[in-house]
A and B are shown apart, each in its own frame.
Chain A
Amino acid sequence: MSSEFISEYEVIHAKPKAFYETYARKDELQHQTHYCPGCGHGTIHKMLAQAMDEFGIKDRTILISPVGCSVFAYYYFDVGNVQAAHGRASAVATAVKRSRPESIVISYQGDGDLAAIGSAEILHAANRGEPIAVIFVNNAIYSMTGGQFAPTTLIGQKSTTTPGGRSAIHEGYPLHVSELLATLEAPMYIERVGLGDNRQIAQASRAIRRAVENQVRGLGFSFIEVLSPCPTIWRLSPVESQRWVREVMEKTYPLAVFRDRTKDAQPRPMPQEPPALDTIPQIIGVANGDVPEDSAIRHEPVTDVDLHVRVAGFGGQGVLLLGEVLAEAGLDAGLEVSWLPSYGPEMRSGTSNCHVRLSREPIDSPLVTAPNVLVAMNEPSLKKFDKSVQARGWVIYNGDAFPPECVREDVHVLALPFTQIADALGDARAANMVMLGALLEIADALPQTSVDAALRRLVKNPRFFELDERALARGRELYRESVREVCHAG
């Protein structure tokens, strides 16, 4: 042939530009792939690269490599590359795409990776309609690890872990991933193609192009399953393997478009611009300006304070709120505070309690194991915590009949039917605030303005706010009226 002859030809099919010229990440044979002769991966890679060339998206593309024979896909594709854990490529792709919505994200996975260990991740990525393209290479076997059974292995097909062939009784039936995903609402495009002959290969190329195009158009989840030869593990020649795809595999896995909603689909909305950086403290509620002026820390504590309070009762009695108001008020009054809800085994049987500390000094332990004030909103709570109260401490008990076994000579007691008292004020649920009123009067540590501020912060409903204010006042009154030093047991 003469040079004039050659120069009258133009290249129409050559290695796509989305591949590296030489595969520098490989440590040897840097001009050829690591795939076995006749392996479908190289063919599929080429289809993908051609689509990338066609849409001019090399810079925008992020390819997620799986675990399996195609773990080294990043050797070949001259795009952004992320290699994922076994089966997790769809989860990784999900987050890459969500954080970089302008990018083209392609998750490339085999059948062990996607259909077995990664079955949850692909199902949920598909169900969320993640706008990614997933290329699922199904060769009915675990190839890289040497030919073990896959969920896609055909009935009767031998593998190193089904030496007698797959039996439906023992391993169940081949998993039809495309059909499975096609039961979901969200996916945009699902097709199964094969590499069984020229016609199939041409269709596979079109399908892969389609999946890429869908993402370029900003549409949703696209999934292309490719029945792909593995001559080495199948122990067939490349040509026989191709035949096996079309004559055997295809019988179990029919080639079809299982979903196509691309025709009328609209591009998914792109995320909005993030807010200005200086507005973020306010958005997340930590800007100084968010704290109302009237509750700024400004009060000097009335007296020296070291409250160790335990509040206990049934769930629904407002135990936690009582504690929270106390802690908020303490903070407002410039004290060190902590509030710890009952947590763990104590939460059983619907009981509830919390630990509150108020002090001038930094709080060492927020756990109140020896309270100097116990607020017991019912009898079981009293019985549970009565013994823990410090000598000369206080017990505020919701009930006028103090159980005899709980009577101690070394503690002060305020025992009143707080629920009935609250009921008389208009709502039995305000019992917690009546008891808090009594506690505040006993502790004599917090200005009423701080209590008001705390209540305003925590009780948004004006009706309850008004009720709670009256309940607090009533509690203070009750203490002043009826306090009796109970060193009375004898």
Chain B
Amino acid sequence: MRKQLMKGNEAIVRSAILAGCRAFYGYPITPASEITEAAAEFLPRVGGVFLQAESEVAAINMLYGASSAGVRAMTASSGPGISLMQEGISYMAGAELPCVIADITRGGPGLGNIAAEQSDYHQVVKGGGNGSYHTLVLAPSSAQEMADLTALAFELADRYRNPVVVLADGFVGQMMEPVEFPQRATAPQTPAWAVTGTAESRGNLITSLHMGSDELEAHIQHLESKYRRAEREEARAEDWRTGDAEIVLVGYGIVGRILKAVTAEARAEGIPVGLLRPITLYPFPTRNFQRLVPRARVFLVVEMSNGQLVEDVRLALNGARPVEFFGRMGGNVPSHGEVLALVRRLARQYGVVMEREEERMAHV
């Protein structure tokens, strides 16, 4: 397969169409608008529906409708728009409707700014809507992953009948990298539960309403069983040079890329550093963290937020190891230099055993 240079935001739409997406309802917002624009160009050409809604509230409820009708559907937005979509996301989780939502995170709170942040973690991973539910959350860190994880998102959405969020930051969305796509398009399928205006589907009902206390509790327990299954089967992370790591760097999305560079530089200085990059933020790759406990002395979580992922890392480690945090906000990016300086300090502070020269040379 051949690669082409493409923005992450553009890769998402192409991958979605190849995955059988035939409905896109969106509302423009920087830095996610390229997704909506690409959808406007391509969805109608493949027999799909594109509509710019009057608001993000309407857009997500249109997804509710499209998904009810058994069509693979998606939208894209950023922080403030995702906040508005939380209503519909909760309803879709409650009504067990699959859909894919791309969140190309910008600065907040409020209007914040249009620069890249990772501050939507809480509202996306913890669920900003009401009720006991989760969205599954995938965090790409490259244009190729924007494509691959979008395709996976549609699969997971159908498998779990649940909204799936592709949570990226403005950098991953705006960045161009080589991307390759599968050469076969998935045929759109109509699930048996959908309401499609046919005799066979006439008895179907889509609702998130369960009036009886026992009935609702049973429904939530059913949702919970899906989440437990996802936790067992779907958690993913990238482990990079963690085998002998005494300092484990943790970051997702673009930060994962920066930390990879830092890892290489720190290793060159003899500091045994590794990178753990969560790819699924929900289900959280808890076991990947626990596996590193015997060797690791400290985990350093780096985010473009005030510290949101770090809470899940602490829960995953459950006090087994200290967890340090470094965050930049407002569109500022943690630089190699400042993270590396922090790594050196932690190495001293936690008595990290430096690699001997010959070991270091073996890596080179």
Binding site for B on A (CB under 8 A): 25, 27, 58-62, 64-65, 71, 74, 78-85, 88, 91-96, 98-100, 102-105, 120-121, 123-124, 271-275, 277-278, 280-281, 283-288, 291, 296-297, 324, 327-328, 331, 336-341, 343-345, 363-367, 369-370
Contact = CB atoms under 8 A, between A and B. Distances in A.
Given A25-B205, A92-B62, A121 B54 contact: yes
Interface of B: 1-5, 13-14, 17-18, 22-23, 25, 31, 42, 45-49, 51, 53-55, 57-58, 61-66, 68-71, 73, 87-88, 91, 95, 107, 113-116, 170-171, 174-178, 181, 183-185, 187, 195-199, 201-202, 204-209, 211-212, 215, 254, 257-258, 260-261, 264, 330-333, 335-337
Given A278-B185, A284-B42, A99 B69 contact: yes
Contact of A102 (B197, B264, B335): B197
A100 B194 CA distance: 11
Nearest to B92: A85
Nearest to B38: A284
B178 A341 contact: no
A84 B61 contact: yes
A74 B58 contact: no
A65 B195 CA distance: 13
Question: Looking at A62, A80, A95, A337, which has the most chain B CB atoms within 10 Å of its CB?
Answer: A95
Given A80-B195, A94-B62, A367-B333, A273 B47 contact: yes
B28 to A, nearest CB: 15
A341 B176 CA distance: 8
A339 B175 contact: yes
B18 A95 contact: no
B336 A369 contact: yes
Contact of B260 (A297, A327, A364): A364
A286 B61 contact: no
B185 to A, nearest CB: 4
Given A60-B198, A88-B64, A94-B62, A280 B3 contact: no
Given A82-B207, A365-B336, 18 more contacts: A59-B197, A59-B202, A62-B195, A91-B64, A95-B64, A98-B51, A99-B22, A103-B197, A120-B54, A120-B58, A278-B184, A281-B183, A281-B185, A324-B176, A338-B175, A339-B5, A345-B330, A363-B177
Judged by DSSP, the binding face of A is mixed
B61 A99 contact: no
A291 B2 contact: yes
A96 B195 contact: yes
Contacts of B53: 91, 124
B5 A60 contact: no
Contact of B58 (A71, A121, A367): A121
Contacts of B51: 94-95, 98
A272 B196 contact: no
A438 B316 CA distance: 51
A366 B57 contact: no
B145 to A, nearest CB: 13
Contacts of A286: 4, 14, 18, 181, 183
B185 A62 contact: no
Given A88-B58, A98-B66, A83 B42 contact: no
A331 B179 CA distance: 11
A426 B73 CA distance: 50
A94 B261 contact: no
Contact of B187 (A99, A277, A367): A277
B209 A83 contact: yes
A64 B5 CA distance: 44
A370 B63 contact: no
Contact of B46 (A60, A61, A283, A328): A283
Nearest to B175: A340
Contacts of A288: 1-2, 183
Nearest to A61: B197
A284 B181 CA distance: 11
B177 A95 contact: no
Contacts of B73: 95, 99
A143 B177 CA distance: 56
Nearest to B212: A27
A84 B64 contact: yes
Contact of B176 (A93, A283, A284, A338): A338
A441 to B, nearest CB: 23
A339 B8 CA distance: 11
A331 B144 CA distance: 14
Contact of B197 (A62, A65, A71, A341): A62
Question: Looking at A98, A121, A124, A363, which has the most chain B CB atoms within 10 Å of its CB?
Answer: A98
Kindly list the 9 A-B residue pairs having the minimum CB-CB distance in the complex, ordered from nearest: A274-B47, A103-B197, A344-B115, A95-B65, A344-B331, A83-B207, A88-B61, A92-B65, A80-B195
A183 to B, nearest CB: 17
Contacts of A340: 171, 174-176
A278 B18 CA distance: 10
A457 B275 CA distance: 37
A118 to B, nearest CB: 9
B17 A82 contact: no
A94 to B, nearest CB: 6
